[in-house]
Structure 1
Amino acid sequence: MNRLDTEIIGLLIKDGRLAYAEIARQLGVTRAHVRDRVQALLDGGSIEQFTAVIDPEKLGKSVSAFLDIKASPNAIEEVAQALADQPEVISLYIMSDMKSLHVHTLTDSSDSLLDFASRQIYGRAGIVSVECQTLLKRIKNRVGGPRL
C-alpha cells in the first residue's frame, strides 16, 4: 500500500459515499486512477466493505454492554461461534490469553440484556466466568462506529 492508497482510505473512512471524482479532485489524480486503486484495495482485502455508521439509540438499542467471558480453552471456539451467531452480539474477539472473549452487545433494555444472558451465557458448557459492564456515555467511537 502506498501513500495514495492511504490517503484514499483516509477520505473513505471519513465519508464512504465520496464520489471517485471528488476523491480524485482532492488528491490531484484522475477519477479512473482512484477507481482502479479502490478496486485494488477491495480485491486485496484492505477495504473489507463500505458501511453506514448508525446511532444505536436512534434504532432503539439503548443498552450497550461489554462482557468479558472466561471459557475453558478447549471450548473457546465453540462458545465464541455460538455467541457470535446471536443478533445481540455486534462484536466478539478471542483475546491473547486464549481463554477470554471480549463481547459487545446492543439490546433495547436491561431486561433484554438479562434475557440474552439467561439464554446464551448462564449454564452454557465451557463458560467459566463472566464480567459485564454497561456503557454510561459514548465519547468516541472506533472508526466505522458500532455495527449492528
Structure 2
Amino acid sequence: MRLNDLDERIVHALAQDARRSYADIGSEVGLSAPAVKRRVDRLLAAGAIKGFTVRVDPAALGWSTEAFIEVYCRSSTSPDDIRRVMARYPEVVSASTVTGDADAILQVFAADVRHFEQVLERINGEPFVERTKSVLVLSPLLRRFSSGAPG
C-alpha cells in the first residue's frame, strides 16, 4: 500500500505520539476525528500501520550498554536460521542481513560490559557462527522512531 500525503501526515503524527486523539490529529491535518479514525483503521487493515506500542529507554530497565555485532556465518546459514536463533536472545533488539562481508548485524543491549561479553560469547558459540566483530556504542547521537514525511 502506498500512502498519500494525508495518510503520511497522520502516520507521522501517530509515530510522534500514538496517544494523541483523533480530534487533535484531525485539527493538524484538516480532517474530522471520524475521518482520521477511518483512515487509521484502513491503514491498520492494510498493514501500513503494524500496531501501537510504547518506547522504553533500555537504561530504565537496567540495560545501559549498547553494542552492534557483525555476524559472519558458515556458508549454509539462511537468514531464517539467523532470525530464529537470535530471537531467543532478549538482549538482541534487532537483527538484519546486510551487504558487505558480514552476513548479519545485531543491535544488542546489556546491563554492563560483562553482561555484553557473556552475550557475545554465547552468540559466538552458536553452531552457524564462524566469527563476530563488535563495537560498543559510546553516545547515541540520533535516533528516529517516527515514520512518514515530517508534518
TM-score, normalized by the shorter chain, greater than 0.5: yes
Aligned counterpart, 1:7: 9
Q: Secondary structure at the match of 2:127?
A: coil
- 2:67–2:136 Cα contact (<8 Å) kept: yes
Match of 2:126 among 124, 127, 139: 124
- 2:63–2:109 Cα contact (<8 Å) kept: yes
Comparing 97-106 and 2-11, the one that deviates more:
97-106
Comparing 98-107 and 1-10, the one that deviates more:
98-107
Tell me how far apart the structure 1 counterparts of residues 69 and 140 of structure 2 sit (CA, whole Å). Answer: 17
Q: Mind listing any 5+ residue stretches in structure 1 that lack a counterpart? A: none
- 1:68–1:102 Cα contact (<8 Å) kept: yes
Q: How does 1:1-148 map to 2 (within 5 A)?
A: 1-76=3-78, 77-96=80-99, 100-119=103-122, 121-143=123-145
Identity %: 26
Q: Secondary structure at the match of 1:141?
A: coil
Residues 1:98 and 1:40: Cα distance change in structure 2 (over 3 Å): farther
Q: Secondary structure at the match of 1:85?
A: coil
TM-score, length of structure 2 as denominator length: 0.86
- 1:20–1:31 Cα contact (<8 Å) kept: yes
Q: Secondary structure at the match of 2:72?
A: strand
Q: Secondary structure at the match of 1:91?
A: strand
Cα RMSD after superposing both structures: 1.7
Tell me how far apart the structure 2 counterparts of residues 51 and 101 of structure 1 sit (CA, whole Å). Answer: 26
Residues 1:9 and 1:98: Cα distance change in structure 2 (over 3 Å): farther
Aligned residues between the structures: 143
Q: Mind listing any 5+ residue stretches in structure 2 that lack a counterpart? A: 147-151
TM-score, length of structure 1 as denominator length: 0.88
- 1:79–1:127 Cα contact (<8 Å) kept: no
- 1:72–1:99 Cα contact (<8 Å) kept: no
Q: Deviations over 1:90-114 (max 9, x none)?
A: 0001124696111001110111111
Tell me how far apart the structure 2 counterparts of residues 11 and 64 of structure 1 sit (CA, whole Å). Answer: 28
One-letter amino acid matched to 2:11: I
Tell me how far apart the structure 2 counterparts of residues 75 and 81 of structure 1 sit (CA, whole Å). Answer: 11
**Greater relative contact order, per chain length (Cα 8 Å cut-off, separation 6+):** 2
Comparing 69-78 and 37-46, the one that deviates more:
69-78
